[in-house]
Amino acid sequence: MKFFVDTADVPAIAELNELGMVDGVTTNPSLIKKSGRDILEVTKEICDLVEGPVSAEVVATEADQMIAEGRKLLEIADNIAVKVPLTWDGLKACKVLSDDGAMVNVTLCFSANQALLAAKAGATFISPFIGRLDDINLDGMQLIEDIRTVYDNYNYETEILAASIRTANHVAESARIGADVITAPPAVIKALANHPLTDKGLAAFLADIKDAGIKIL
Ligand code: G3P
C-alpha cells in the first residue's frame, strides 16, 4: 500500500520522507491556507523533495478555468497530479487533462457512483473521504469497500486513494479492504507505530537491562 502525506508542511514531509514513508503528497486549499505559503512556491518545494505524485488542487469551479489552472500547476514539476472536485465541471476537466497525459486526482468523493464517473473520465486517483462520512454518522469504510468492488468488477485502473483519514484504524481497514493508497496527516502516520504493549514490553526490557548491567557498546 502506498502512503501519501496529507499536508503542505514541508519539514513534516521531509521528516517522513527520510524514513521512506512517503510515496506521494496530497494538498488542498485548506492545507495551503494552513501553511501560510504561496501555493505555487510551496508545491514546487514539495515536488523537489518527493519523487511520487504531489496533488495540487485547482481553485476554479468552471471546467475551462480548471483546465487552465491544471495546466499551470503541471508546469511546476513532472510529478504533479492535478486535483479537481467531483463536480460535473471537475469531471470535464479530468477528462481533458487525463487525455493530455496528466495525472488527475478527483477529490471530494462520497459515493460509489461518483467514483464510477471519475474512473470513466480517466482519473488516475479517486479520493473518497472516510472521516467526513463518519462525521455525519455514515460508514466511510463501507464506501472504500464499495468502490473496491465496483472498480474490480470492471477492471478500472483508477487508484483508490483513501482520504480524510483520521485514525490508525482507518489506515488498517483501508489496507484490509485493498485501497491502493492512503493519504493521512503526518501525526496519523507517526501514530501507526504506537502500541501500549510495545511500550510495556520495552519498559520491562529496559528494567532488565538496568538490573543485569547489559551493555553492547
Ligand atoms: O485530502 C483531503 C482530506 O484529507 C480531508 O481530510 O480531515 O479535512 O476531512 P479532513
Considering the entire predicted model, what is its pTM?
Answer: 0.96
Q: How confident is the model at residue 201, as a pLDDT?
A: 98
Does the C-beta of 43 come closer than 6 Å to ligand 1?
no
Residue nearest to atom 6 of ligand 1 (CA): 164
Domain that holds residue 109: 2-212
pLDDT category of residue 7 using cuts at 50, 70 and 90: very high
Does the C-beta of 27 come closer than 6 Å to ligand 1?
no
Candidate of 9, 28, 54, 55 to mutate for ligand 1, largest count of ligand atoms within 8 Å of Cβ: 28
Q: Considering the domain boundaries, does residue 94 fall inside one? A: yes
Q: Considering the domain boundaries, does residue 145 fall inside one? A: yes
Q: Considering the domain boundaries, does residue 161 fall inside one? A: yes
Does the C-beta of 134 come closer than 6 Å to ligand 1?
no
Q: How confident is the model at residue 151, as a pLDDT?
A: 98
Distance 61 CA to ligand 1 centre (A): 19
CB 80 within 8 A of CB 54: yes
Residue nearest to atom 3 of ligand 1 (CA): 164
b/e code 142-162 from CB counts within 10 Å (16+ = b):
ebbbbbbebbeeeebebbbbb
For 23, the enclosing helix (H) or strand (E) is none
Q: Considering the domain boundaries, does residue 175 fall inside one? A: yes
> 173-204 pLDDT, tens per residue?
999 999 999 999 999 999 999 999 999 999 99
Cα separation of 101 and 108, whole Å? 22
- Percent with pLDDT over 90 in the chain: 100
Q: Considering the domain boundaries, does residue 217 fall inside one? A: no
Please tell me the total count of domains within the chain: 1
Does the C-beta of 94 come closer than 6 Å to ligand 1?
no
> 112-152 pLDDT, tens per residue?
999 999 999 999 999 999 999 999 999 999 999 999 999 99
> 55-110 pLDDT, tens per residue?
999 999 999 999 999 999 999 999 999 999 999 999 999 999 999 999 999 999 99
- For ligand 1, what atom is nearest to the CA of residue 184? 4
Q: Considering the domain boundaries, does residue 153 fall inside one? A: yes
Residue nearest to atom 5 of ligand 1 (CA): 164
Candidate of 3, 4, 5, 6 to mutate for ligand 1, largest count of ligand atoms within 8 Å of Cβ: 6
Q: Considering the domain boundaries, does residue 58 fall inside one? A: yes
Q: How confident is the model at residue 71, as a pLDDT?
A: 98
Residue nearest to atom 4 of ligand 1 (CA): 164
Residue 53: which CATH number?
3.20.20.70
Cα separation of 124 and 84, whole Å? 11
Contacts of 35 (CB under 8 A, 6+ apart): 8, 9, 42
Give catalytic residues, as residue numbers. 83
Q: Considering the domain boundaries, does residue 66 fall inside one? A: yes
pLDDT category of residue 38 using cuts at 50, 70 and 90: very high
